[in-house]
Copies of this chain bind each other. A is one copy, B any other.
Amino acid sequence: MKYKMDLVSPAVFIGKQGKGVISFGSGQPDLPPPKEAIQGIDIRKDLRYGLIQGEYPLREALSNEYPNSTADNFVITNGASEALDLIFRAWGKGKVLLPKPYYYSYLPLVEMAGMEPVFTDLVEGRIDIDDFKKKIKGCKAVLINSPSNPTGRVELIETLKEIEKITAKLGVYVISDEVYKDLIYERENYHIKGGHVITVNSFSKTYAMCGVRVGYLWSSDKKVVDDVIELKTHTSMNTNLVGQDMALRAMAVPKKYVIDQKEIWRKRRDRIYNGFCELGFDLWRPEGAFYIFPKCRNAREFLATLFLKYKVIFYLGEWFGAPDRIRLSYALDEAQIDKGLECIKAAMKKVRCL
């Protein structure tokens, strides 16, 4: 067991909602899921195993969202996490390029599968295409996450198109983790395409149903799809059927649900971004997802102080490959964000963090 991150790690904080706790930790919407996804659900009486690949109606509905696709291009998984885990395990060797900082599970998932991580350092939170070109050679795959957890940044469309082209030419797989695709403040999502692309996605963030654990992968590469199904037969079998039924209903919800939520996120984004600027932190303005990733000195001491004295939770940047930063999710209402900012201001008097 190499991946014990810390005494205070996401494994400790996830799902914890204590009284009086203000958690900027776990990255999950606090907004309610669409009522259509949870009300009037008839739980099916036949609860035998479903297809390992996932229920046909859900995969068919998804195929309408992906150009030139059929239900065969999808595998429904226990969240995006399991999709990534199975893809890497199906390969089991070779190099994976990870833009750094990265989502904290990427590194363990790559290494546990027996693959080797290679890093390209983000510049101002975005991919540096020159470094990318150097590092991508000899890789089996690159894992892109735009909008990014933890940086909150969105890649330029021209960068994504260039990555699409370079990797196609070299025969390198692009795994595009697009779980925040519906949460971009500046523009529409640019969906990376191609026969060498594996898209990973989820219902968790868009429909505020993280705990239901329904995600999926899309690929037009039959071998990738078949290999993942074969593995999943042994490791977890079908993704839970009730969750898949809920996901299908969520997909039928009017677009307004997503648009309205984005407006709420935008306000919160402005609130916390401005708040942190006023406190003197050095940080990027989030363009998507719901994270800020400010620079921070003595981050461990700052975390301990905030957690123990003020019941405020945030995550350490070192879990994401950036020891000089901290990550805060702003999936909280504005009153809580303000209260959290007050606590942070107070803690800054005790710990030198700028």
Contact = CB atoms under 8 A, between A and B. Distances in A.
Interface of A: 1, 3-5, 9-11, 14-17, 26, 28-30, 32-33, 38-39, 41, 43-52, 78-79, 81-82, 85, 89-90, 92, 104-105, 108-109, 112, 114, 208-214, 226-227, 229-231, 233-243, 246
Given A38-B45, A47-B33, A246-B242, A79 B236 contact: yes
A49 to B, nearest CB: 5
Nearest to A38: B43
Contact of A52 (B15, B52, B229, B230): B15
A210 B51 CA distance: 12
B240 A15 contact: no
Interface centre among A14, A45, A234 (most CB of B within 10 A): A234
14 contacts: A3-B231, A3-B234, A14-B52, A14-B233, A29-B48, A32-B46, A38-B43, A38-B44, A48-B210, A81-B237, A85-B234, A105-B233, A212-B241, A213-B240
A240 B227 contact: no
A149 to B, nearest CB: 14
B49 A241 contact: no
Ranked 6 nearest A-B pairs via Cβ: A15-B51, A105-B234, A38-B43, A211-B241, A11-B233, A78-B236
Given A1-B90, A78-B236, 4 more contacts: A11-B233, A17-B48, A47-B208, A89-B112
B3 A230 contact: yes
The oligomer's copy count stands at 2
Contacts of A233: 9-11, 14, 105
Contacts of A208: 47-48
B212 A11 contact: no
B45 A32 contact: yes
A223 to B, nearest CB: 8
B242 A212 contact: yes
B11 A229 contact: yes
A339 B236 CA distance: 32
Nearest to A210: B49
Contacts of A51: 14-16
Contacts of A81: 234-237
A172 B112 CA distance: 24
Contacts of A237: 14, 78-79, 81, 210, 213
Contact of A209 (B29, B47, B214): B47
From A1, A45, A235, residue with most partner B Cβ within 10 Å: A235
Nearest to A114: B114
Contacts of A43: 38-39, 41, 246
A49 B90 contact: no
Contacts of A242: 212, 240, 242-243, 246
Contact of A235 (B4, B15, B85): B85
Contact of A26 (B47, B49, B230, B234): B49
A81 B112 CA distance: 18
A85 B32 CA distance: 33
A117 to B, nearest CB: 14
Nearest to A106: B234
Nearest to A27: B49
A243 B243 contact: yes
